[in-house]
Amino acid sequence: MVHPPTPSQPPDTTGPARRGMSREEFRVIAASSVGTAFEWYDFFLYGSLIPVIGSKFFGGYPPAAQTVFALLTFGIGFVVRPLGALVWARFGDLVGRKAIFMITLIIMGLSTLAVGLLPTSAEIGWAAPVLLLTCRVLQGLAISGEFGGAVTYVAEHAPPARRGAFVGWLPATVALSIFLSLGVLLSVQFITGPEAFDAWGWRLPFLISVVPLAISVWIRLKLRESPLFLRMKAEGAQSRAPIRESFTRRRNLRVVLIALAMVAAQSFVGYVSTFYTLTLLTSTLKVDTLTANTLFLGLMLCAFLLCGFFSWLSDKVGRKPVMLAGFALAVATYFPIFHGVAALANPALAEAQDRVRIQLVADPADCSFQFNPAGTASFTSDCDRAKQLLARWSAAYENVAGRPDAPVTVVVDGRTLTAGPGLEAELGDALTRAGYPAEGSGTVRIDGPGDLLDGRVVLLFLLLLALVSYAQMTQGPAASAMVELFPTRIRYTAMSLPFQVGTGWFGGVAPAVMVAINAEAGNIFAGLWYPTIMIVIGAVICLLALPETRGIDLDAVDTAARPARRLARRRGTAVG
């Protein structure tokens, strides 16, 4: 099967398609969304608690090394996801959606809960980080089979004319779970206080997850198997080798690659609007954590609603128009929006970046590309240290090639500073005199409810909301489109791998790559070129190669694959 057949006319939106959601359909969506909620609740929670987790589980190391090892355990989940996707999805296509659905949820939920129960390195030594790593590996493996199974299960229950709206609840849950994790984290910190939170309160957000875990297991126990899978099984039309059929047959592989391009592009839009933007606000623009998290609480609540809207809209006008509009708006407005964000969040810094001329003069061979997503690289040259100091001040600078035998220098509005032990103090003094603000000075702040209506806060929120809107325009329709590209016999397998590779290996590392590009170029906006170019590539592939699948009958996708199976049977060869 290369392309699923496109409906010759718009789907019927009268009669059953317009009825309200049944109790069974609501149960299917609710039970499926819980796994997605677990995935992102744990993801954001663990990322927010990196310093605490580092100190608790790697306490025998210096603070910098603690952060390094905590980040490594965080990243291992991304590494194992494609492997888990192949394993779980294969069994999902062979034995059924419901069984795998339940297994991955339980593994994922118990692993998240276990993090809150683990003894620390001060209590059991080296066994503590080993247990933490085990939990993260299990979470990564379970998560990799969860989303593909959830989307497949919901889509195979949904009426064709409303499939986008039904499936859209799952990516919408991503925003809602980030909202909930932020809310839980801030609430626990407020209730326990800083000292108690550091001592034991950090465990509570993980332990609280047992409540939705118990509810979701109870709901999923009441679910029935996917009707399309049961019919396929009754007809004896299952794939004997879904992995081989998905990835070694040229026609299916072509569709997998198209799906990968689509997922990668929408992942760039999603990660830029959330994790990169939050990093930019707090690390680069020096906005305090409370203000940034408060803004994102509101943004994620809006994102939840917007994803549902754009998913519904894709049932009316098509998956491709909504997705391509999101891609186009992102590419066209990223640079002006981020310039506006900088000017509103920290106007003194934005003004200094435009006005103060700074040059870093160094031999290019002495300078490293500052890509360090896991914190394991060591940047020790004079050029690297100068770049790190400039990045700490969020300074905009120009790289100038120096002679190999000349010392590294930083020129600030004509004042030349030579690299050495005193560079940090001298550079700080020079930047302050030139007009760079001290950290936290003049930044946007939300200290109370009244600040929420401040004009500067409102304008900043609206700019950030535009970025979040682009993500929802692409994520909701993309989830439905992926399901509709593949036949039931290989659907779980064929969509899970491109999804995990696209989100984990492309979108997932995008913020780290962008930060590295910013440091390399000496410009906090230079990194935007990376997602912009990648989104353009993905959008062009979608425009030219992605079929429109709105309202398609999933049985028609299966029917399109049957001639090849009949030919294989006549020749006496195995299918898959």
Q: What is the pLDDT of residues 133-186, one digit of tens each?
A: 999 888 888 877 777 778 888 888 888 889 999 999 888 988 888 888 888 888
CA angle 138, 144, 150 (to 5 degrees): 120
pLDDT band at 27 (very low <50, low <70, confident <90, very high): confident
For residue 7, pLDDT beyond 60: no
- For residue 231, what pLDDT is reported? 66
What would the mean pLDDT of 421-432 be, rounded to a whole number? 92
State the pLDDT at residue 97: 66
In the predicted structure, residue 132 carries a pLDDT above the cut 80: yes
pLDDT tens by residue, 299-322: 999 999 999 999 999 999 999 999
Q: Averaged over 258-284, what is the pLDDT? A: 91
Would strands 398-401 and 409-412 be described as parallel, antiparallel, or unpaired? unpaired
For residue 563, give Cα distances in angstroms to 8, 258, 528, 567: 21, 23, 46, 6
Helix (H, G, I), strand (E, B) or coil at 241: coil
CA torsion through residues 422, 425, 428, 433, sign? negative
pLDDT at residue 569 above 60? Answer: no
Report the sign of the C-alpha dihedral through residues 404, 409, 412, 416, in that order: negative
User: Token pair for residue 491?
Assistant: 């659907």
In this predicted model, which residue has the larger pLDDT, 434 or 24? 434
The amino acid at 515: V
Q: How do strand 409-412 and strand 358-362 relate by DSSP bridges?
A: antiparallel
Domains defined for the chain, CATH in brackets: 22-343+450-571 (1.20.1250.20), 351-434 (3.40.30.10)
Distance of CA 576 to the CA centre of its chain: 32
Give the 3-state secondary structure of residue 84: helix
pLDDT in tens, 205-263: 999 988 878 887 887 777 776 666 666 666 565 666 677 777 777 887 898 899 999 99
Residues 6+ positions from 407 with CB-CB distance below 8 Å: 382, 418, 419, 420
Q: 6 or 81, which is more confident?
A: 81
Q: Does the structure show a pLDDT above 90 at 22?
A: no
- The winner for highest mean pLDDT among 55-59, 96-100, 342-346, 376-380 is 342-346
Select from 18, 144, 110 the least CA-distant residue to 495. 144
What's the pLDDT score for residue 37? 78
Question: Strand 358-362 vs strand 398-401: parallel, antiparallel, or unpaired?
Answer: parallel
- Kindly state the helix (H) or strand (E) to which residue 96 belongs, with its residue range: none
How far are the Cα atoms of 166, 323, 448, 477 from residue 313, in angstroms, in the given order? 12, 11, 37, 9
What average pLDDT score do residues 503-523 get? 84
Per-residue pLDDT at 13 exceeds 60: no
Q: Which residues does 164 contact at the CB level (< 8 Å), separation at least 6?
A: 311, 312, 313, 314, 315, 319, 476, 477, 480, 550
Helical residues (DSSP H) of 222-288, grouped into ranges: 227-234, 242-247, 250-271, 277-279
Residue 305, both tokens = 């609603």
pTM over 0.75: yes
pLDDT at 576: 38
Q: 449, exposed or middle or buried, with CB in 10 Å at 0-12, 13-18, 19+?
A: exposed
Determine the Cα–Cα distance for residues 356 and 465; give it in Å rounded to an integer. 31
DSSP assignment of 310-332 equals HHHHHHHH-HHHHHHHHHHHHHH
Task: Indicate whether 19 pLDDT > 70.
Answer: no
In one-letter notation, the amino acid at residue 76 is I
482-496: per-residue pLDDT in tens? 889 888 778 878 888
209/504 Cα distance (integer angstroms) = 23
CA distance 377 to 72: 12
Contact 358, 412 (CB under 8 A): yes
Task: State the pLDDT confidence band at 557, using cuts at 50, 70 and 90.
Answer: low
Confidence check: pLDDT of 3 > 60: no
**Strand 358-362, strand 415-418: pairing:** unpaired
Question: How far, in whole angstroms, is CA 80 from its chain's centroid?
Answer: 16
On the CB side of 144, CA atoms within 13 Å amount to 31
Among the listed residues 183, 56, 140, the one whose alpha carbon sits nearest the alpha carbon of residue 504: 140
Whole-number average pLDDT of the chain: 83
Provide the percentage of residues in the chain whose pLDDT is more than 90. Answer: 36
Residues with Cβ < 8 Å from 380, sequence gap 6 or more? Answer: none
pLDDT at 151: 83
Question: Which pLDDT does position 141 carry in this prediction?
Answer: 84
